[in-house]
Amino acid sequence: MLIKILDKEFRPYISSERLAQEIKRLAQEVEQQMQGKRPLFISILNGSFMFASDFVRAYQGECEIAFVRFSSYEGMQSTHKVKQLLGLPKDIAGRDVVVIEDIVDTGNTLEEIYNLFADKQVASLRIMTLFFKPEAYKKNLPIHHIGFSIPNRFIVGYGLDYDELGRNLPEIYQLNIENMKNLVLFGKPGAGKGTQAAFLKEKYGLVHISTGDLFRHHLKNGTELGVLAQSYMDKGALVPDEVTIQMLQEEIEKNPNAAGFIFDGFPRTIAQAEALDAFLASKQMNISATLALDADDEELIKRLVERGKVSGRSDDQDEGKIRNRFVEYNQKTAPLIDFYKKQGKYHPINGIGSIEEITQRLSKVIDVL
């Protein structure tokens, strides 16, 4: 049975009975490691409070427990970095500590936990998490006890929340992706893709992924993928599709609670479309529709020339260059039109009219997907 929390739908994922079985197994596993010792369990709030409570009840040996939470504030402003554990017992030197986490995804919080305990002189430090997302994990830090390894998709319940709601659910629910809307947005230069993407993003709670913006971000910040892309560009070579797909993958994994995605600027070739389909299929997702903003070339040329007067972009002021861009677009896009038509996902949209009229035309298609 689906449940709705705020604007999202969730489906049953892990039952309370299955949670109890796994917690019992974890308790026995930790008991074997702690024979003859009295561990100090440290539950990281808020998410792990239900897990910690049930775990301690299942644990048969002597133990102590403390409940702590992170602080990331200096004054009234968040530093976006974990600074301290509030509620940590003052004297834990020589203790065998087991940290109880609800979920480990990227590992950023886990890294801070290790840093915070580095100078505490504990006898041993072990990490236990009820949920682990291996696809999202970016660190090389040990996790000693894992309950469930799960896909990188948003979950709620049993202490985990969505915008502070859902913690009291006795089982785990997973974001329902059957109604996820993943859109490919086509359009010649000047067709208004960026404007419409901004409206659709807000209206449907989608994440707008522009490959142009992605490349600029990675190149500007010198990320690993940005450096790799730059190495090809420096040689005058095209950046391989695999690199672009990895950028898309990172962006999708950053947004596990998204209602869907708008892909803008990708795919541009059949090979890229096939690679995107394969990647989404690995995430149990797919393209819902491709929306193509159709507009008369002469009308678009007028738009671009006017835009060029404001932006100062030379390629928007030279009519010859504009027409060449249209020719290149037609050559690249024509095969993709056939590709998505065969899948029954191609939807041409009249791109002439007011912004509001075009948004309504797009929405009419999206609403019946």
CATH number at residue 196: 3.40.50.300
pLDDT at 21: 96
141 and 222 inside one domain: no
Tokens read off for 76: 């009234």
Relative to beta strand 124-132, strand 96-104 is parallel
Cβ(315)–Cβ(321) under 8 Å? yes
158 and 195 fall within a common domain: no
Residue 43 φ then ψ, to 5°: -90, 125
Which of 160, 175, 190 marks a domain boundary? 175
Lowest mean pLDDT, pick from 88-102, 162-176, 207-221, 315-329 = 315-329
Verify that 156 and 191 share a domain, yes or no.
no
According to the model, what pLDDT value does residue 315 have? 58
- What pLDDT does 302 receive? 80
For the annotated binding site for AMP, the residues are: 211, 216, 237-239, 265-268, 272, 313, 325
Residue 76 has pLDDT above 50, yes or no: no
Total domain count, the chain: 2
Asked if 104 and 207 sit in the same domain, the reply is no
> Based on the domain organization, do 206 and 237 belong to the same domain?
yes
Q: Are residues 168 and 256 in the same domain?
A: no
Pairwise CA distance, residues 157 & 165, whole Å: 9
Q: What is the CATH number of the domain that holds 154?
A: 3.40.50.2020
Residue numbers belonging to the annotated binding site: 190-195, 211, 216, 237-239, 265-268, 272, 307, 313, 325, 353
Dist CA 39 CA 97 (whole Å) = 6
pLDDT-based confidence at residue 327 (cuts at 50, 70, 90) = confident
Cα–Cα distance measured from residue 16 to residue 4, given in angstroms and rounded to the nearest whole number: 19
Residue 317 domain flag: yes
Top pLDDT among 245 and 143 is at: 143
Residue 228 covered by a domain: yes
Among 42, 56, 296, which Cα is nearest to 187's? 296
Which of 29-33, 88-92, 132-136, 291-295 has the lowest average pLDDT? 88-92
- Sequence-distant (6+) residues with CB within 8 A of 11 are 2, 173, 174, 176, 178
Bridging pattern class, strands 145-149 and 8-14:
unpaired
- In this structure, is residue 238 part of a structural domain? yes
Comparing 317 with 324, the larger pLDDT belongs to 324
Per-residue pLDDT, averaged over 80-87, amounts to 62
In a domain, 275, yes or no: yes
Q: What is the mean pLDDT of residues 67-80?
A: 53
pLDDT at 74: 39
Q: How far is residue 240's CA from residue 228's CA, in Å, rounded to a whole number?
A: 10
Known catalytic residues? 193, 268, 307, 313, 325
The 10s digit of each residue's pLDDT in 259-306 is 889 999 889 889 899 999 988 888 778 999 999 998 887 878 887 777
Neighbours of 82 (CB within 10 A): 16
Going by the annotation, the residues of the binding site for ATP are 190-195, 307, 353
Q: Quick one: 165 and 217 in the same domain?
A: no
Same domain for 268 and 124: no
Give the integer Cα–Cα distance in Å for 214 and 221: 11
* Structural domain for 359, as ranges: 181-367
- Domain membership of residue 34 (yes or no) is yes
* Better-predicted residue by pLDDT, 305 or 209: 209
78: in domain = no
Mean pLDDT of the chain: 87
Domain boundary among 175, 197, 226: 175
For residue 103, being part of any structural domain is answered with yes
**Residue 77 pLDDT:** 36
Query: Which residue, 81, 57, 60, is CA-closest to 71?
Result: 81
For position 288, what pLDDT does the model report? 93
Domain ends where: 115, 144, 175? 175
49 in a domain, yes or no? yes
Do residues 281 and 314 both lie within one domain? Answer: yes
Return the structure tokens found at 174: 């997973």
Q: Is 317 a residue whose pLDDT tops 80?
A: no
Within this chain, do residues 208 and 279 fall inside the same structural domain, yes or no? yes
Q: Tell me the one-letter amino acid at 264.
A: D
Q: Are residues 189 and 161 in the same domain?
A: no
Residues 185 and 324 in one domain: yes
